[in-house]
């Protein structure tokens, strides 16, 4: 086996290994040079290869004039042909170019290219421009990689990240308040990040940091006691709409001073651990959890709840640690931590002695690092909380919990996202200015999807169960994809008509594209498992090769999406895959009845397999029939 074929899943990683060897050979006096390898994009309009190494220009600026064996290009050295090998022999160390400003790194790039070790991955290399080393992959190697994936399973293409355990903190609704469209982005983005990390061999602790503690519970508990003097009568059916219950208790709290006093006393009793108040608190939390679970079940999201109340007992000892390290100071009656770059301090104990979000978030971070041994803690909230988390992370760095270098583990990252907007460009709300309940939004997505499904002739004979299942897959998938395809930092406009359009970059288009590929395989009448065992993939047509190349880049795309915490990267890859399949492969390469039928059926199966894994990572159920 030659270098670069050690079953590393990512093409980019394998090429990086090859260029690492070449760079050590080419510039031995420059240790620790990191290969700069990336795929070449056709979107620029010019493409000289499949991948490109861009080290030569950076290195040339660094080494020219040094005693390295390389000096002033273009006449770097005398070329001597040794069979199929070209070696660069150093000249003297005086400038040889009459115009040094026109010197390029091309000869250095040629040396890097010639020093690449043998590998079945590479078909050819060339040097272009001021020193780009372009690599064309072997089509035979691409074909073999695809076939191995079909035999061994797509999990063999999972990237390996340099960590073992991560916490993803997402969704995090407040108890006694219904989930609304504002929770949609955190839930969808957080679930996809967790799925991508899990696929990449990382153990993910999916944390739902619900708001289940605080002064509002005194108000809710006291109102509960008024409405239900007998605790045994308290249940979801009796309380009814929990959101309405919350609003009624808030109205009472704001308008009745005696009720307000009792509510404040109830908070003290709850925090003091009185059984009656604790039980009432548990009842309210349980009713909320039931509501949350219904939404999570529809979205196919798994979460483990560890709310604010879980960390409450740990707060005093964590603050004591921070105090002992000299981080906590007194300021206007409160206890605070000052951090660099921010004028206002992080308040960790309020002037009345109470705790707040900062005390809880610092404690949760300490717990996740020290008790749960997480190496990467990821918080998925709206961009409005960026400064808060930035201050918490800076305080943790001052305490020595996190490293100063954010590229090293353990680390904490805030994953911010923009707003969901309505057609008017303002926050997405109902006509009476209420926030949109998430359950209502999902109901409408399914209903609209069902209408569209039933309009298709093929679906008219489907059993109700199949119509229902497809409507959910398409409707919920449309909502998720419309969110995830955007850069998460951007605001996006919520529009059902656009989401459910079966043309363009939508989940509907992609799900139907997958279903069409499955239909091609079914119509062939072949047992695809037998074809996998006995067939062979050949990439002689340009459309076949373009599709194969895009498929083998799946692993590095997932790795990039994980590293940058950007699900939109995976969405772009998936849409491009569907586009390449349709426009370059299927439009030009007949599948059924062609001499290449076996190979092309395997390409169809490979495409469907990768699409299904993309759907899974995005939390979308695939559709097999349309």
Going by pLDDT thresholds of 50, 70 and 90, the confidence category of residue 456 is confident
The whole-number pLDDT of residue 433 equals 57
Mean pLDDT of 137-150: 97
| pLDDT band, very low/low/confident/very high, at 8 (cuts 50, 70, 90) | low
Higher pLDDT, 514 or 8: 514
> Which helix (H) or strand (E) segment is 85 a member of?
strand 85-90
Using the predicted structure, report yes or no on whether residue 546 has a pLDDT greater than 60.
Answer: yes
Average pLDDT, stretch 104-130? 90
In this predicted model, which residue has the larger pLDDT, 573 or 216? 573
Q: Is 126 exposed, middle or buried (0-12, 13-18, 19+ CB in 10 A)?
A: middle
Question: What residues have CB less than 8 Å from 397, skipping those under 6 apart?
Answer: 403, 404
Can you say how many angstroms the Cα of residue 322 is from the centroid of all Cα atoms in its chain?
Answer: 33
Three-state secondary structure call for residue 330: strand
pLDDT score recorded for residue 93: 28
pLDDT of residue 375: 98
The predicted structure's pLDDT at residue 237:
66
**Stretch 196-212: mean pLDDT, rounded?**
97
Q: Name the band, by pLDDT with cuts 50, 70 and 90, for residue 29.
A: confident
Angstrom distance (rounded) from CA 174 to CA 167? 20
* Closest C-alpha to 170, from 145, 193, 137, 138: 193
Q: Is the dihedral of CA 560, 565, 567, 569 positive or negative?
A: negative
Position of tokens 């397999």? 609
Query: Is pLDDT at 86 greater than 60 in this prediction?
Result: no
| Strands of the sheet with 51-53, listed across from one edge | 37-39, 51-53, 132-137, 122-128
Stretch 476-505: mean pLDDT: 94
Average pLDDT over residues 421-441: 80
* pLDDT exceeds 70 at position 467: yes
Predicted local distance difference test score (pLDDT) of residue 31 = 78
How much is the pLDDT for 304? 97
pLDDT for the residue 384: 93
Find out whether 491 and 419 touch, Cβ atoms under 8 Å.
Answer: yes
- pLDDT at res. 564: 97
Structure-token pair, residue 248:
């009624």
Contact 56, 78 (CB under 8 A): no
Complete domains list, the chain, with CATH: 11-82+107-137 (3.30.1360.70), 165-208+305-421 (3.40.50.620), 215-301 (no CATH), 450-618 (1.10.730.10)
CA distances from 249 to 200, 243, 254, 282 (A): 46, 10, 9, 17
Residue 481 has pLDDT above 50, yes or no: yes
Mean pLDDT of 621-625: 95
Residue 23 has pLDDT above 60, yes or no: yes
pLDDT at 88: 37
- Asked if residue 612 lies in contact with residue 506, where contact means CB atoms within 8 angstroms, the answer is no
pLDDT of 424: 86
pLDDT for the residue numbered 235? 72
State the average pLDDT over residues 578-606. Answer: 97
How far is the C-alpha of 272 from the C-alpha of 367, rounded, in Å?
23
Please name which of 382, 376, 621 lies closest in space to residue 478, comparing C-alpha atoms: 621
What percentage of the chain has pLDDT greater than the value 70? 90
Helix (H, G, I), strand (E, B) or coil at 404: coil
pLDDT in tens, 167-202: 999 999 999 888 888 899 999 999 999 999 999 999
pLDDT of residue 445: 96
Query: In the predicted model, what is the mean pLDDT of residues 230-242?
Result: 72
Give the integer Cα–Cα distance in Å for 184 and 136.
Answer: 43
Q: How confident is the model at residue 64 (pLDDT cuts 50, 70, 90)?
A: confident
Average pLDDT of 141-160? 97
Give the model's confidence band at 35: pLDDT under 50 very low, under 70 low, under 90 confident, else very high.
Answer: very high
Tokens encoding 195: 């799925």
The string of pLDDT tens digits covering residues 570-584 is: 999 999 999 999 999
Q: Are 450 and 471 in contact (CB under 8 A)?
A: yes
C-alpha distances in Å from residue 465, one per residue of 160, 442, 461: 39, 18, 12
Read off the pLDDT band of 389 (50, 70, 90): very high
Say if residue 203's pLDDT is above 50. yes
Q: How many CB atoms lie within 10 A of CB 201?
A: 13
pLDDT score of 339:
96
Highest averaged pLDDT of the listed ranges 140-154, 243-257, 258-272: 140-154
Question: What pLDDT is stored for residue 357 in this prediction?
Answer: 93
> Which pLDDT does position 482 carry in this prediction?
96
* Residues near 452 by beta carbon (within 8 Å), at least 6 away in sequence: 474, 500, 502, 508
* Cα(32)–Cα(198) distance, integer angstroms: 31
Any idea which of 8-22, 51-65, 134-148, 363-377 has the lowest mean pLDDT? 51-65
Cβ neighbours of 321 (radius 10 Å): 15
User: Which range, 54-58, 95-99, 457-461, is most confident?
Assistant: 54-58
Assign 242 a pLDDT band (cuts: 50, 70, 90): confident
48 close to 40: Cβ distance less than 8 angstroms:
yes
pLDDT averaged over every residue in the chain: 89
């Amino acid at each position: 086996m030659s270098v670069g074929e050690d079953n590393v899943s990512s093409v980019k990683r394998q090429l990086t290994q090859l260029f690492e060897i070449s760079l050590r050979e080419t510039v031995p006096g420059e240790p620790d040079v990191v290969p700069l390898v990336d795929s070449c994009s056709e979107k620029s309009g010019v493409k000289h290869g499949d991948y490109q190494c861009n080290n030569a220009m950076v290195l040339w600026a660094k080494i020219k004039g040094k005693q390295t064996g390389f000096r002033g290009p273009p006449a770097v050295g005398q070329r001597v042909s040794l069979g199929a090998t070209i070696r660069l022999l150093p000249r003297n160390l005086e400038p040889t170019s009459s115009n040094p400003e026109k010197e390029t790194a091309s000869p250095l790039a040629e040396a890097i290219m010639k020093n690449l070790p043998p590998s079945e991955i590479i078909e050819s290399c060339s040097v272009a421009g001021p020193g780009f080393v372009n690599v064309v992959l072997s089509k035979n190697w691409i074909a073999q990689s695809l076939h191995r994936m079909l035999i061994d399973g797509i999990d063999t293409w999972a990237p390996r990240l340099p960590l073992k355990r991560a916490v993803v903190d997402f969704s995090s609704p407040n108890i006694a308040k219904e989930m609304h469209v504002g929770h949609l982005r955190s839930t969808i983005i957080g679930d996809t990040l967790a799925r991508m990390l899990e696929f990449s061999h990382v153990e993910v602790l999916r944390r739902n940091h619900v708001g289940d503690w605080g002064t509002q519970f005194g108000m809710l508990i006291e109102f509960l006691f008024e409405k239900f003097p007998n605790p045994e009568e308290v249940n979801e059916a009796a309380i009814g709409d929990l959101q309405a219950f919350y609003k009624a208790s808030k109205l009472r709290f704001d308008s009745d001073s005696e009720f307000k006093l009792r509510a404040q006393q109830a908070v003290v009793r709850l925090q003091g651990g009185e059984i009656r108040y604790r039980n009432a608190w548990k009842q309210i939390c349980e009713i909320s959890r039931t509501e949350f679970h219904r939404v999570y079940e529809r979205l196919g999201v798994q979460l483990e709840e560890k709310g604010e109340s879980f960390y409450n007992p740990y707060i005093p000892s964590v603050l004591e640690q921070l105090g002992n390290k000299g981080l906590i100071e007194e300021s206007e009656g409160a206890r605070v931590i000052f951090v660099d770059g921010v004028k206002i301090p992080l308040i960790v104990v309020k002037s009345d002695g109470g705790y707040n979000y900062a005390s809880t978030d610092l404690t949760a971070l300490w717990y996740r690092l020290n008790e749960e041994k997480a190496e990467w803690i990821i918080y998925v909230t709206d961009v409005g909380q960026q400064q808060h988390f930035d201050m918490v992370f800076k305080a943790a760095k001052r305490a020595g919990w996190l490293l100063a270098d954010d590229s090293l583990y353990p680390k904490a990252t805030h994953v911010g996202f923009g707003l969901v907007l309505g057609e008017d460009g303002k926050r997405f709300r109902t006509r009476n200015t209420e926030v949109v309940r998430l359950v209502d939004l999902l109901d409408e997505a399914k209903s609209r999807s069902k209408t569209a499904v039933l309009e298709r002739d093929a679906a008219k004979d489907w059993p109700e169960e199949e119509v229902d299942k497809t409507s959910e897959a398409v409707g919920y998938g449309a909502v998720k994809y419309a969110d995830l395809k955007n850069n998460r930092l951007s605001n996006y406009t919520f529009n059902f008509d656009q989401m459910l359009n079966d043309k363009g970059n939508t989940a509907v288009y992609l799900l139907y594209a997958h279903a069409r590929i499955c239909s091609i395989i079914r119509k062939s009448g072949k047992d695809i498992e037998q074809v996998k065992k006995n067939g062979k993939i050949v990439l002689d047509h340009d459309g076949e090769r373009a599709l194969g190349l895009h498929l083998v880049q799946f692993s590095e795309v997932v790795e990039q999406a994980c590293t940058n915490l950007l699900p939109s990267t995976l969405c772009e890859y998936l849409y491009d895959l569907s586009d390449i399949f349709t426009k370059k492969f299927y439009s030009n390469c007949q599948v059924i009845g062609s001499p290449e039928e076996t190979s092309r059926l395997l390409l169809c199966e490979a495409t469907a397999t990768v699409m299904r894994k993309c759907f899974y990572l995005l939390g979308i159920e695939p559709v097999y029939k349309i």
